[in-house]
Structure 1
Amino acid sequence: MEIEKDALIIDELVELLESGDIRPGGKLPSENKLADQYRVPRYTVRNALNHLEERGLIESVQGKGRFLKPGPARIRIPLSGRTSFTEKMKELGHLLETTIVSCEAIENGEAARVLAAAPGDTVWRIGRLRVVDGEPIAIHYSHVLQSRFPEIGADGPDIRSMFEYYRQRGYGNFESGKALLSVVFPSSREQELLRCSRLVPLLALESSCLDGHSGDTLEFTRILYRSDTFKYDISGTQE
């Protein structure tokens, strides 16, 4: 079947690219050569190559062919600890830029349940784009209760580190709550922010940050990591 041939070509080309046999910037075999190799029509090869291009693995240069794209440097990121993402990146020697992409009150849902929101309590979501060494790699969504942080609506657009914000308000001993990992695909807005295609999987990490003294939940966090930019340390959970 053509679909099976398409998938076979994709799988074998991915293995070829990941093996190092083709270096970043190296040229892929032509459509004609691949069609002869797999004994399929050229359009089947073209579909497979277009799929790899959508995944951001290769790029087309008009009149020259297709080439392996240099991938972003993989950053080792601990998914655990009691320090913020900002502090982790500083410890690892990376240049971090943070941009606030949203600050809004949202309808009660999973965040309200985790935060144990009372009836009528407002949940605020702060969205921050993380750019490390010039590469957009993650979007952090932090959810907090207005009853706990009354000025969050006004303060939100200026918050670069939630941990630092909490420290300024008397919290200093943080614990991590239960964490859940899943794989999702980016929305059109997330594609725009992360500069990735719709076929680049995102690792979604949902967790909570607790006050180590009272055990109260300060924050419910959902972080979307580009799966092609990290090496993950999953020995625990992180904000």
Structure 2
Amino acid sequence: MSPPSTTAPPVPPKPPFQDLLELRDDTAKPLYQQLEDQLTQLIDDGTLPPGMTLPAERQLAERLKISRATVQRSYNALRERKLLSAQGRLGSIVQGTGPRLHSGMDRLKGFTEEMRDLGRVPSTRILEREVVTDRSIASIFGRPSHARFLKLVRVRSGDGKPMSREVAWYNLERAPDLAQADLSGSVYAMLATLGVPLVYCDQTIEAAEPTGEECAIFGFDRPLPCLLIKRRSFGEDGDMLEYVEGLFRGDTYTYKLSLRI
């Protein structure tokens, strides 16, 4: 007699989220508010996870057999609450209910310090580390074409969640010991230890689309908007020590800036 099978039964597929919506016309609550409340609940319980694309207004309206204006009003309310972000004709992206990271720009900080200030545990995974010569990078630093730089490609995470992929170059003429230093933590702290602390930087921020490799790092099923930060950092004597291009995920990361007259 053969032993009973221990194979678990297949898990039935989850129904489309639209089938979980139940809009009623026998209640005083308007349809747009019912839709907003039910979508909020599905976002809260994880049925609609961050990064998921919801249908465009017209498509959802046709599926639910309601007016497009009703869906539009609900979507707009969810965007105002930062639960959705608009993606034009593609629909809307779920942002989730978790707190976004609001990073200050009032002083020069490395990723490690920044994460700790935000109450996150920082960690780093080094993808590439090598000493290189690169004519284009040398030009950025204002150095001769044969100048040597430490190239460092890292994934930076907060609480285990990948937040950025950074490609950085460091001036080995000014910090030669950096080539052999332990860079699993803060490079800025290491530069200070080596006697060449960074004191100011020039930084630009622009919107960018992640590559396939970056989507895999961030866990995106499709390219989502990101922030590309380019920074040139200088020492006390005005010499450039670092050039870095960091792609930060846009679904959980924002920058805040205080301006005074």
Query: Do both proteins adopt the same fold according to a TM-score greater than 0.5, normalized to the shorter chain?
Result: yes
Q: In the alignment, which of 193, 199, 202 is matched to residue 226 of structure 2?
A: 202
Give a deviation string over 1:178-234, Cα, whole Å, max 9, x none. Answer: x222111111111121212332111001111111x2011110111111000113113
Q: Which residue of 1 aligns with 2:196?
A: 171
Per the alignment, residue 124 of structure 1 pairs with 150
Partner residue of 1:93 out of 96, 104, 119: 119
Contact 1:138 1:223 in 2 (8 A): yes
Residue type of the alignment partner of 2:219:
R
Cα separation, 1, equivalents of 2:184 and 2:139: 24
Q: What are the Cα deviations for residues 94-134 of structure 1, in whole angstroms up to 9, with x where unaligned?
A: 1111111221336332x322211213112332122111123
Which 5+ residue runs of structure 2 have no aligned equivalent?
1-35, 49-53, 69-86
Write the distance in 2 (CA, Å) between the matches of 1:80 and 1:113: 28
Q: Is the 8 A contact 1:186 1:198 kept in 2?
A: no
Q: Deviations over 1:112-158 (max 9, x none)?
A: 22211213112332122111123211122221123233344443x73
1:60 aligned residue: none
| Cα distance, 1:20–1:141 mapped onto 2, change above 3 Å | same
Task: Verify the 8 A CA contact 2:122 2:157 in the aligned structure 1.
Answer: yes
Aligned residues of 2:208 and 2:227 also touching (Cα < 8 A):
yes
Question: Secondary structure of 1:165's match?
Answer: helix
1:190 equivalenced with 2:214 (yes/no): yes
> Identity of aligned pairs, percent?
20
Once residues 116 and 153 of structure 1 are traced to their aligned partners in structure 2, the CA distance between those partners, rounded to angstroms, is: 20
Matched-pair contact (CA < 8 Å) for 1:78–1:232 = yes
For residues 82 and 115 of structure 1, do their structure 2 counterparts lie closer, same or farther at Cα, with a shift above 3 Å needed?
same
Equivalent of residue 173 in structure 2, options 143, 147, 152 = 147
Bigger relative contact order (CA 8 A; separation at least 6): 1
Q: Distance in 1 between matches of 2:248 and 2:116?
A: 18
Could you tell me how far apart the structure 1 residues matched to 2:172 and 2:111 are? 23
SS of residue matched to 1:127: strand
SS for the counterpart of 2:242 is strand
Structure 1 Cα separation of the partners of residues 166 and 105 of structure 2: 13
- Which amino acid in the other structure matches residue 189 of structure 1? E
**Residues paired across the two proteins, number:** 195
Tell me whether 1:24 sits opposite 2:53 in the alignment.
no
Question: How far has the Cα of 1:166 moved from its partner?
Answer: 0.5
Cα offset, 1:79, TM superposition: 3.4
Determine helix, strand or coil for the equivalent of 1:158: coil
Matches within 5 A, 1:101-140: 101-104=127-130, 105=132, 107-109=134-136, 111-140=137-166
TM-aligned CA distance change 1:52 to 1:32, over 3 Å: closer
Distance 2:155 2:191 in 1: 19
RMSD: 3.5
Paired residue type of 1:227: G
What TM-score, normalized by structure 2, do the two folds share? Answer: 0.62
Task: Determine the structure 2 residue equivalent to 1:216.
Answer: 239
